[in-house]
């Protein structure tokens, strides 16, 4: 016979149905909970007692209703293979018979124990199957927040670290990546930090909420919480807005079972780290500073040569105002330390001059590729062989303030004595006559304690500075003593004005040779030291490549020196390379010149009229420089030969000669007093003259050429951790992120290993697990009361003893149970009698009556 199914809507009173078994209603006189939850045993007994009669379901206080009479033998459909149905159900919900819902009075003070007696009859969902082990209790979203959040935090931190260290280790971020340059130079570094911090705060807040749920579960299952806090901690497992509220309860609990625990410490650290990271943007922005940032080379048009119609005159006074401009110098390992015979050689110096007019433009250059003018020079000094005397030099009125050295210089014999291993210049192979000298010897002014110096121009190797038709002919491949190279004497003395006033003519007799100097004694403890120097120099045009990773600046020093000590022009000496410490160009604050490609010159004649524009510029530069460093303008024009001309290289002295700018004199005085190297004096003086000549003529250049220049731009950038100001903001945020991640990992590990009954992000189980005898009446009556009122009730009635989530005594359910380690459980407040205990119904009745009275 086929099985039939009868729904409630199809049932007709009084009809007879076969093949059904009726469900027995509650027995008359039973209480409300017994009517709602009749046990199967009672139902079977009622069915067996009367198999032919009908029975009624009569709610208490109501008369019988014939419509509710159900024939005996009528039954509701129950499938036999319930396990088969469970397997086919996607939601894993079992099929239970729906019992007719009786009409019953409102619930009174029925204990939770009554519910437990009939719990087996109530239809309930099956226990959730935990997938993937304990991680299944955290859920997909919780796992994403915890694991994905840590990955996101590390990604954000990596980007923040890139903003701080993407500029590289070099100053001014010379080796920075293109992305870092674009962010910083576009002014978006602040926006990048703000957006990164925003993402960091969002992830940290989400993780803090998830970790709060895990900590709430740990407190409930591993520890214990006061019964007044039990709902807060239980619901926090499902939803919360962070650790602040629970942390306040933990701190305010004043119980060691909550306060002095690892979970409490982790909650405190979690809250502080999350709070600190909310200000990560402000903390990181405090590291931003204005700094020069190097850019990639870009095409730039610069003036490099003259037009066809340009006409320039040769000048000999342009060096009066020194120009200590940024330049590029080729690397050199040569030192000026004299050898055993006193030869001091600077080696070839190649210096590329930047075609930029203003100092602020030159100091911003970090790389240069293109055409430039190079000034080449080489100086060698040695002890001289002089035949002559030192004589006083009276003024017109007969007053004597200074003296002179007069006689002849045997530069041929001097060179052969010092440069024994060097190639002999061509003129020395035939005939190089001694040159006349008449050099001014300076006198120290009152109070000066530093020897004062002068530069004496003697002549040229072979007797001529240069053939007039060919122009200057010194080449970079020549030695400094090559034919037509210039010859100078550097004189340094400690003779004062008072000594010269009474001085008598004295033969110059050498008493000692040390280094490149020959010392002549004029008076006891008074001397004049003299060194002979050869110098060659020229200009060439070349395609150059220069770069630096250092910050560039041009010396801005004053020549005003107190106490007449020669001054301290250390920055200028270092800038010019006039220092005994052998430093690289970057260490000196200039550009490094890399293997220049010299443009060939076909004709240097200034009279031919067919030279190119570049050659014309080079000729003007060379002639103007030679006129200054040899003082030959009048000699060339008049066809005269000069015996000697003195250049003042002292600041606090009295001498007769060509005056210098006070700053140049101060620099030369400082060089001789600090290094005692004559070659450095000559090399520095020639360099300053060449720069002054070039920038004086550069203003007349009118033909532009495209070159590649990398400049620096001032922009806001994070401070580097190894600088003076450091990166305190980055360090602080890094520490907070590290602490936060460690805290999240520790909380997650504790949760996975020490909890069993919690489901992160699920609400129903957090409410269901609150069912217990202690909270039964409170849960029913507290639907219109404040939390503080409930807490007062619990404290007054039960002493606010500790509770935890665990299995019930019979192991049939998960509920809140008393914590056995709580000393209050055995105290007087927790005796079994309820005579003196405040009843919840009376308490809430008083509360509501007071509210109605107030209203």
Nearest to 740 by CA among 117, 207, 221, 216: 207
Write out the DSSP string of 670-710: HHHHHH--HHHHHHHHHHHHHHHHHHHHHTT--EEEEEEEE
376 has pLDDT over 70:
yes
Lowest mean pLDDT among 11-15, 270-274, 850-854: 11-15
Q: Determine contact, residues 648/402, Cβ cutoff 8 Å.
A: no
DSSP secondary structure, 393-436, as one string: EE-TTS-EEEEEEEEEE-HHHHHHHH-TTSPPPHHHHH----EE
Partnered with residue 294 across adjacent β-strands are 712
Highest mean pLDDT among 292-306, 314-328, 556-570: 292-306
> Shortest CA distance to 537 belongs to which of 684, 378, 425?
378
Distances (CA, A) of 187 to 199, 288, 525, 716: 20, 11, 66, 7
- Distance (Å, whole) CA 576 – CA 578: 5
The pLDDT value given to residue 684: 94
CA dihedral (755, 757, 760, 766) in degrees, to 10, reads: -130
Q: Which helix (H) or strand (E) holds 141?
A: helix 135-143
Percentage with pLDDT > 90 across the chain: 29
Percent of the chain surpassing pLDDT 70: 71
* pLDDT score for 66: 40
**8 Å CB contact between 27 and 59:** no
Q: How many angstroms separate the CA atoms of 734 and 718, rounded?
A: 14
How far is CA 419 from its chain centroid? 55
The pLDDT of residue 12 is: 41
Residue among 536, 534, 532 at smallest CA distance from 414: 532
Lowest mean pLDDT among 43-47, 152-156, 567-571, 847-851: 43-47
Q: Using CA atoms, how far apart are residues 303 and 298, in angstroms rounded to an integer?
A: 16
Q: What is the pLDDT of residues 327-345, one digit of tens each?
A: 999 998 888 899 888 899 9
Please report the pLDDT score of residue 82 as a whole number: 44
Under the banding of pLDDT at 50, 70 and 90, the label for residue 837 is very low
What is residue 35's predicted lDDT score, i.e. its pLDDT? Answer: 35
H/E segment holding residue 391? strand 386-394
Mean local confidence (pLDDT), 516-544: 92
pLDDT at 197 over 90: yes
Give the whole-angstrom CA distance, residue 255 versus residue 251.
9
End-to-end CA distance of the chain: 68
> For residue 96, which phi and psi values (nearest 5 degrees)?
-120, 150
Give the range among 23-37, 170-184, 423-437 with minimum mean pLDDT. 23-37
Indicate if the pLDDT at residue 251 is higher than 50: yes
491 sits in which H/E element:
strand 486-493
Backbone angles phi, psi at 137, to 5 degrees: -75, -20
pLDDT at residue number 267: 93
In sequence order, the β-bridge partners of residue 299 are 708
Angle between helices 189-221 and 262-277 (to 10 degrees): 160
Other Cβ atoms within 10 Å of 391 Cβ, number: 18
pTM of the predicted model as reported, rounded to 2 decimal places: 0.65
Calpha distance 545→535 (Å, rounded): 27
Asked whether 585 and 337 are in contact (CB, 8 A), the reply is no
- Which of 540, 690, 680, 576 is CA-nearest to residue 626? 690
Q: What is the pLDDT of residue 787?
A: 81
Reply yes or no on whether the pLDDT at 800 is more than 80: no
Q: How confident is the model at residue 315 (pLDDT cuts 50, 70, 90)?
A: low
Query: How high is the pLDDT of residue 818?
Result: 82
Mean local confidence (pLDDT), 451-466: 80
Average pLDDT score over the chain:
76
Is the distance from CB of 284 to CB of 731 less than 8 angstroms? no
Which has the minimum average pLDDT: 36-50, 447-461, 550-564, 642-656? 36-50
Give the model's confidence band at 19: pLDDT under 50 very low, under 70 low, under 90 confident, else very high.
Answer: very low
Q: Partners of 492 in the beta sheet?
A: 453, 529
Name the more confident of 593 and 626: 593
Instruction: Give pLDDT tens digits for 680-699.
Output: 999 999 999 999 999 988 88
Residue 117 has pLDDT above 50, yes or no: no
Q: For position 447, what pLDDT does the model report?
A: 64
Confirm if 299 and 369 have CB atoms less than 8 A apart: no
SS3 331: coil
Q: What is the CA radius of gyration of the chain?
A: 51
Residue 745 is predicted with a pLDDT of 95
Answer whether 682's CB lies under 8 Å from 343's CB: no
Question: Where is pLDDT greater, at 815 or 642?
Answer: 815
Position 5 pLDDT exceeds 60: no
pLDDT class of 312 with cuts at 50, 70, 90: low
Q: Average pLDDT for residues 615-644, to the nearest whole number?
A: 65
pLDDT at 720: 84
Residue 465: the pLDDT is: 61
24 has pLDDT over 50? no
Q: What is the pLDDT confidence band of residue 50, given thresholds at 50, 70 and 90?
A: very low
Contact 145, 206 (CB under 8 A): yes
Give CA–CA dist 327/685, Å, rounded: 15
547/172 Cα distance (integer angstroms): 13
Question: Over 50: is that where the pLDDT of 71 sits?
Answer: no
* Mean pLDDT, residues 378-385: 93
User: Higher model confidence: residue 49 or residue 589?
Assistant: 589
């Amino acid at each position: 016979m086929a099985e039939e199914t009868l729904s409630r809507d199809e049932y007709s009173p009084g009809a007879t149905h076969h093949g059904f078994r009726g469900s027995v209603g509650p027995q008359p006189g039973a209480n409300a909970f017994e009517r709602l939850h009749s046990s199967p045993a009672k139902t079977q007994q009622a069915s067996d007692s009367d198999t032919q009669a009908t029975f009624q379901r009569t709610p208490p206080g109501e008369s019988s209703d014939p419509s509710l009479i159900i024939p005996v033998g009528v039954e509701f459909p129950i499938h036999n293979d319930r396990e088969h149905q469970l397997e086919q159900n996607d939601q894993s919900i079992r099929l239970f018979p729906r019992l007719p819902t009786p009409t019953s009075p409102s619930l009174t003070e029925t204990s939770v124990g009554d519910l437990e007696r009939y719990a087996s009859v109530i239809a309930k969902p099956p226990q959730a199957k935990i997938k993937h082990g304990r991680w299944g209790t955290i859920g997909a979203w919780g796992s994403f927040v915890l694991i994905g959040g840590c990955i996101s935090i590390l990604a954000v931190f990596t980007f923040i670290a890139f903003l701080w260290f993407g500029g590289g280790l070099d100053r001014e971020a010379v080796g920075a990546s293109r992305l870092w340059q674009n962010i910083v130079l576009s002014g978006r570094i602040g926006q990048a930090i703000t957006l990164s911090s925003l993402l960091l705060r969002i992830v940290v807040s989400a993780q803090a909420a998830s970790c709060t749920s895990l900590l709430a579960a740990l407190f409930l299952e591993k520890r214990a919480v006061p019964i007044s806090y039990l709902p807060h901690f239980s619901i926090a497992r499902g939803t919360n807005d962070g650790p602040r509220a629970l942390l306040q309860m933990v701190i305010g609990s004043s119980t060691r079972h909550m306060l002095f625990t690892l979970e409490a410490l982790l909650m405190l650290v979690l809250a502080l780290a999350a709070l600190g990271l909310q200000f990560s943007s402000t903390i990181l922005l405090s590291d931003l500073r204005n700094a020069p940032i190097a850019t990639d080379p870009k095409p730039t048009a610069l003036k490099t040569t003259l037009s066809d119609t340009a006409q320039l005159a040769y000048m000999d006074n342009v060096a009066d105002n020194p120009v200590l401009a940024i330049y590029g110098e080729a690397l050199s390992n040569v030192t000026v330390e004299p050898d055993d015979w006193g030869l001091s050689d600077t080696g070839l110096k190649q210096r590329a001059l930047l075609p930029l007019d203003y100092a602020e433009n030159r100091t911003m250059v970090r790389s240069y590729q293109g055409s430039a003018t190079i000034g080449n020079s080489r100086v060698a000094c040695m002890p001289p062989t002089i035949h002559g005397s030192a004589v006083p030099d009276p003024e017109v009125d007969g007053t004597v303030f200074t003296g002179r050295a007069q006689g002849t210089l045997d530069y041929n014999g001097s060179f052969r004595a010092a440069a024994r291993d060097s190639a002999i210049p061509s003129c020395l192979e035939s005939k190089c006559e001694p040159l006349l000298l008449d050099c001014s010897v300076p006198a120290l002014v009152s109070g000066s304690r530093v020897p004062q110096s002068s530069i004496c121009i003697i002549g040229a190797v072979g007797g001529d500075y240069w053939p007039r038709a060919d122009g200057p002919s010194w080449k970079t491949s020549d030695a400094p003593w090559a034919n037509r190279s210039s010859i100078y004497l550097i004189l340094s003395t400690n003779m004062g004005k008072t000594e010269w006033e009474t001085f008598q003519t004295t033969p110059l007799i050498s008493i000692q040779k040390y280094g490149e100097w020959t010392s002549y004694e004029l008076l006891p403890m008074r001397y004049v030291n003299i060194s002979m120097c050869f110098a060659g120099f020229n200009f060439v045009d070349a395609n150059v490549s220069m770069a630096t990773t250092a910050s560039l600046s041009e010396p801005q020093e004053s020549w005003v020196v107190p106490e007449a000590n020669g001054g301290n022009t250390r920055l200028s000496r270092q800038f010019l390379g006039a220092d005994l410490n052998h430093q690289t160009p970057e260490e000196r604050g200039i550009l490094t010149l890399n293997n220049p490609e010299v443009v060939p010159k076909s004709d240097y004649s200034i009279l031919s009229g067919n030279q190119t524009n570049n050659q014309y510029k080079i000729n003007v530069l060379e002639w103007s420089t030679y006129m200054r460093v040899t003082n030959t303008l009048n000699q060339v024009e008049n066809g005269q030969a000069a015996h000697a001309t003195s250049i003042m290289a002292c600041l606090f002295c009295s001498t007769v000669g060509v005056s210098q700018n006070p700053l140049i004199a101060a620099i030369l005085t400082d060089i001789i007093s600090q290094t005692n190297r004559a070659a450095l004096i000559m090399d520095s003086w020639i360099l300053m003259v060449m720069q002054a000549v070039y920038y004086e003529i550069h203003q007349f250049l009118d033909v532009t050429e495209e070159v590649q220049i990398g400049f620096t731009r001032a922009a806001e950038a994070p401070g580097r951790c190894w600088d003076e100001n450091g990166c305190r903001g980055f360090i602080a945020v890094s520490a907070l992120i590290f602490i936060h991640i460690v805290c999240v990992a520790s909380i997650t590990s504790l949760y996975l290993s020490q909890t069993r009954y919690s489901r992160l992000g699920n609400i129903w189980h957090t409410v269901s697990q609150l069912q217990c005898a202690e909270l039964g009446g409170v849960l029913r009556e507290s639907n219109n009361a404040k939390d503080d009122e409930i807490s007062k009730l619990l404290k007054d009635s039960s002493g606010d003893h500790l509770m935890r989530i665990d299995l019930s005594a019979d192991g049939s359910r998960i509920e809140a149970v008393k914590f056995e380690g709580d000393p209050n459980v055995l105290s007087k407040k927790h005796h079994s009698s309820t005579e003196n205990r405040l009843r919840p119904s009376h308490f809430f009745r008083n509360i509501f009556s007071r509210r109605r009275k107030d209203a």
